Amino acid sequence: MGTRGYILKKVFQAFLTLLAVIVFNFFLFRILPADPVDILTRGAGAKLDDAEKAELRASYGLDKPLFPGQFMDFMGDTLRGDLGQSIIQRPGEDVTAIFGEFMWPTFLLVGVSTVLSTVIGIFMGIYAGWRRNGKFDLFSMGFSLVLYSMPEFWLGMLLILLFSTTLGWFPSSGRATVGGVYTGTAAVADIVNHLFLPALTLTLAYLGEYYLVMRSSLLDVLGEDYITTARAKGVREKWVLRRHAVRNALLPTITLIALSFGFVLGGAITVEVVFGYKGLGGLTYVALQNRDFPLLQGIFLISSATVIAMNLVADLIYGYFDPRVREA
């Protein structure tokens, strides 16, 4: 299969996956045993009679049959980029606008922690694999396994107890100082100060994953015939590591980075709740509590589309670095 055919195949697969997610998204929040209108009126403290409830239900299109009425309306609105309006969190406000407001803090948190955990985990895995059974390998293996098995929210609470409550170095919650008026570098410093503990939590939580995969991949590569051949030719060990071993061992990590992006988003929910960090995680938690179905649908759809796009990028990069994948 040529490069063009490989790209078209992967794009088509991503499109089918996104379509399946959209269909699943429609049915998921409509099989739940709850009436959005009853939730809306109860949350607002309003007392409506049956006629008024029916009118409100019609305004949301809930009076139509599930299929094809509501389904076709949902698909049409989704394709136009209309994800509906929030009914509890911010009644009447577009879900897209709410998502856009809370998106960037979470992307900053997830982006920083993903980069740090990836870079640190890869270098740790390379050094540990190259110095197998050494002191660093044994220590880093135990350290990574402990972090990998620890829930994010529990790790976050431990860091709050240490760095915030005991040492008082960093704030325990929030995205920025409430009521603080900062500009320029002072504003950036304030954001970084609040970002440090949540980002450290996610970095430590996912560090072990990259470490273990990189170490295992490097050990597999070191046993290949071309490594033995390079050594037999007299190539220096550092060049065997840099030019032959690491380059090929990095390929599985490329896919892992994209696949882990979705898990990091999931972990960000609990971390944002623990630290009171106002991002998509905290927004999702509040929407779940209030059963704000349109908002939950929008968050689920956009987050899923982001993960699908990341996986597509990983597949294309993997195919670029390993031509054998394109020929499969």
Is the residue at 122 inside a domain? yes
311 closest CA partner among 262, 250, 268: 262
269 closest CA partner among 147, 116, 120, 109: 109
pTM of the shown model: 0.76
**φ and ψ at residue 85, rounded to 5 degrees:** -125, 145
Is the residue at 256 inside a domain? yes
Is the residue at 79 inside a domain? no
Tokens found for residue 71: 């389904």
pLDDT at 36: 63
Tokens found for residue 144: 């990574």
| pLDDT tier at 40, thresholds 50, 70, 90 | low
Tokens found for residue 75: 């698909």
- Coil/strand/helix, residue 85: strand
| Arithmetic mean of pLDDT, 125-129 | 84
Q: CATH number of the domain at 222, please.
A: 1.10.3720.10
Number of domains in the chain: 1
| pLDDT tier at 221, thresholds 50, 70, 90 | confident
Is the residue at 81 inside a domain? no
The rounded distance, in Å, linking the Cα atoms of 217 and 92 is: 51
CA atoms within 13 A on the CB side of 173: 8
Q: Which residue has the higher pLDDT, 15 or 87?
A: 15
Query: Cβ–Cβ contacts within 10 Å for residue 243, how many?
Result: 13
String of DSSP letters for 281-310: HHHHHHHHHHT-HHHHHHHHHHHHHHHHHH
Is the residue at 158 inside a domain? yes
Tokens found for residue 97: 């606008």
Q: Are 282 and 272 in contact (CB under 8 A)?
A: yes
| pLDDT tier at 108, thresholds 50, 70, 90 | confident
Q: Among 114-118, 189-193, 195-199, whose mean pLDDT is lowest? A: 189-193
pLDDT at 35: 63
| Arithmetic mean of pLDDT, 185-206 | 85
Q: Which residue has the higher pLDDT, 266 or 68?
A: 68
What is the end-to-end Cα distance of the chain in Å, rounded?
A: 7
| pLDDT tier at 32, thresholds 50, 70, 90 | low
The rounded distance, in Å, linking the Cα atoms of 147 and 159 is: 13
Is the residue at 45 inside a domain? no
Write down the residue that tokens 């509890």 correspond to.
88
Amino acid letter for position 97: A
The rounded distance, in Å, linking the Cα atoms of 230 and 232 is: 5
Domain that holds residue 194: 95-327
Is the residue at 16 inside a domain? no
The rounded distance, in Å, linking the Cα atoms of 89 and 284 is: 10
The sign of the torsion formed by the CA atoms of 289, 292, 294, 295 equals negative
101 closest CA partner among 299, 269, 276, 291: 299
Contacts of 114 (CB under 8 A, 6+ apart): 202, 206, 257, 260, 261, 264
Is the residue at 181 inside a domain? yes
